Structure 1
Amino acid sequence: MRHMVFWGLVGAGLVTAALGAIGEPDAAMLRRTPPSQSAAADGGMIALSTVVEGKYQQVTLIDPSRHVMSVYQIDLASGNVKLCCVRNFHWDLQMLQHNGERPLPREIRSALESM
């Protein structure tokens, strides 16, 4: 199932690249198209896709059960697929704060507990 979602998105990217090569992209497409999302009914793989600056389609795959995400870029002109990054975000989700601005989570909790 995971491979079907991935290759389905790659196929969609290739179709998008082919269609983009045929016609002139409009101004909205040159900036960024709104992301589309696909998720398996069983809560499996999540796929997010958007076209960035009319140059490439960015596909983000998220595996909630393994806490892993990956980002791919599909060149709209050539159809080449580039793996940009893979990250296990399990430990990221264990952090209480990162680059937080005040009030920080522990400050809010302390204020609520003192009421």
Structure 2
Amino acid sequence: MNKVMLGALVGAGLAVAALTLIEQRNEVFAQRISASAPGGGELFVFPTLTADKAQLLTVVDPRLQTLAVYQVELPTGKIKLLSVRAIRWDLQMTYLNNEKPLPQEIHALLEQR
């Protein structure tokens, strides 16, 4: 389950970054996966099915730069909050857990040209 949750968190982070970059150019995609939140904001919800008859819902609030992951047991409908995280600082990192070549190494190689 930890791998699934980590995958959902990483996927949500990447999705937030991608949505931020393409916000103006791809309104149809954003409307398809977004829902209006109270106060006029938008929440993005990413469903992921798991092998153990559950569904993970990753909810991203771009305005607050926060994500939450919920587990929904499909047979019973029970909902459990698994994690919540402010991702503002995460998204400002240059790299984490990368393998070589690291981003600054690639940049240095390109600067030599």
TM-score bracket, normalised by the shorter chain, equals 0.5 to 0.7
Q: Describe the SS at the equivalent of 2:42.
A: coil
Q: CA RMSD in A?
A: 2.0
Counterpart of 1:96 (choices 94, 99, 109) is 94
Partner of 2:45: 47
Displacement after TM superposition at 1:40 (Å): 4.1
Indicate the structure whose relative CO is greater, using CA pairs within 8 Å and at least 6 residues apart.
Answer: 1
TM-score, scaled to structure 2: 0.63
How many residues align? The count is 79
State the distance in 2 between where 1:72 and 1:40 align: 16
TM-score, scaled to structure 1: 0.62
Displacement after TM superposition at 1:51 (Å): 2.1
Partner of 1:68: 66
Identity across matched positions, percent? 39
- Give 1 or 2 for the bigger CA radius of gyration: 1
Q: Structure 1, residues 78-112: CA drift from partner, whole Å, max 9, x if none?
A: 21100000011111111111001111000011111
